[in-house]
Amino acid sequence: MSDRIKRIDLTRDFQAHKEEYMKAIQAVCEETAFSGGRFADQFDEELAAFVGTRYAAGVNNGTSALHLAMLALGVGPGDEVIVPANTYIATAWGVSYTGATPVFADCTPDTWEIDPASVERKITQKTKGIIGVHLYGQPFDFRAIREIADRHGLFVVEDCAQASNALYEGRQVGSLGELGCFSFYPGKNLYAFGEGGSVTTDNEEYFKHITRLKNQGCDVRYYHDEVGYNMRLEGVQGAVLSVSLKYLNEWTDRRIAIGQRYHREITNPLITMQVHPENTRPVYHLFVITVPDHEDFVRYMEEQNIECNMHYPVPCHLQKAYAHLGYQPGDCPNAEYLASHCVTLPLFPEMRDDEVERVVRACNEYKGAVKKP
């Protein structure tokens, strides 16, 4: 029996750069700069320089990044913010935490990214803005979303949680909208040894407000100007992220090489892949395909000792948490199709060529579910 291929294996990165990571963590410990502090601040500067924004505010996770972005933009009770139906649920949480209502738009049938036509139909008097998600590492159609937003006086926030280092018309994601929200959850393209996130922006006012909110509502210690939160980035995470950021281009190149290989070599007509528009550089955070019977496909791959999973099996508008919003099956048909047919193949930078080959072969040898008599 051949070795198991995991969907993602973080131990290989740690083993490859162990000494460097441990040295960075030790430096934080020597200075006891544990919460915020020099190492977190330094990573903020490095990330802003990398993304090409004036500011980056490190926070404790990506969900907080989205929450603080909504607060900085003045979103609150009675407001609506349009988000895609097919995304990780946290995109919508940031809206809900403020007391506002997420309104779910469908995705396109080929890029699987937020559909500008669907967004346009969801705009009401209450709409404040749009959160686009660069889902699976594929930049969404920013130009079209920006144009709609400008016509209606709305903000555009980018959820970059899955797309660190992706490019849209040559620009880094996170530098396009009013605010960019990043997650450094383990397994994201750029990840911390725990939880982490960041909000990037060129706007000084937003940056200062987010910095105050994440820091218990104060600019000066023990003087609290508004009700704030404890959402600072930890020093250890900042130090680890500064090491990882140096490798991000290398990791991205490897992800792209594997992603392109899957596109070229997987030729099974039962398998459909995401379409990547030419004005973008996707970074293959997740390599998602659709098949007629995804449960059967995952079982089949498991028999080949290849771990796959599904991103995501239930679209946001049909989650129980949002049952009170009254959505029905059929409201976002493309997102629903994706949810009931998606499979995520193994893909991570340290995957070996022989493993990529095995995944390709298994995909091409898949015959489809046996029809029940």
Ligand X SMILES: *Cc1c(COP(=O)(O)O)cnc(C)c1O
Point out which residues bind ligand X (CB under 6 A). 61-63, 87-88, 90-91, 133, 159, 161-162, 183, 185, 195, 197
Nearer to ligand X, 87 or 280 (CB): 87
Nearer to ligand X, 50 or 182 (CB): 182
Q: What residues have CB less than 8 Å from 370, skipping those under 6 apart? A: none
**Closest residue to ligand X, Cβ-based?**
62
Would you tell me how many other CB atoms lie within 10 Å of the CB of residue 240?
26
Shortest spacing between CB 159 and ligand X, in angstroms: 5
Nearer to ligand X, 86 or 101 (CB): 86
Shortest spacing between CB 291 and ligand X, in angstroms: 22
What whole-number distance in Å separates Cα of residue 70 and Cα of residue 213?
A: 12
Shortest spacing between CB 183 and ligand X, in angstroms: 3
Q: What residues have CB less than 8 Å from 365, skipping those under 6 apart? A: none
- The string of DSSP letters for 287-338 reads EEEE-S-HHHHHHHHHHTTB--B-S-SS-GGGSGGGGGG---TTSSHHHHHH
Shortest spacing between CB 293 and ligand X, in angstroms: 26
Nearer to ligand X, 162 or 334 (CB): 162
Q: What share of the chain is helix, strand, coil (3-state, %, to 5)?
A: 45, 20, 40
Shortest spacing between CB 280 and ligand X, in angstroms: 17
Nearer to ligand X, 61 or 274 (CB): 61
What whole-number distance in Å separates Cα of residue 248 and Cα of residue 171?
A: 16
Shortest spacing between CB 27 and ligand X, in angstroms: 24
Nearer to ligand X, 196 or 346 (CB): 196
Q: Are the C-beta atoms of 308 and 298 separated by less than 8 Å?
A: yes
Burial 166-196 (b: 16+ CB within 10 A, else e): bbbeeebbbbbbbbbbbbbbeebbbbbbebb
Q: Which two tokens stand for residue 215?
A: 């820091």
Nearer to ligand X, 183 or 290 (CB): 183
Whether the ω angle into residue 312 lies within 30 degrees of 0, i.e. cis, is: yes
Shortest spacing between CB 153 and ligand X, in angstroms: 25
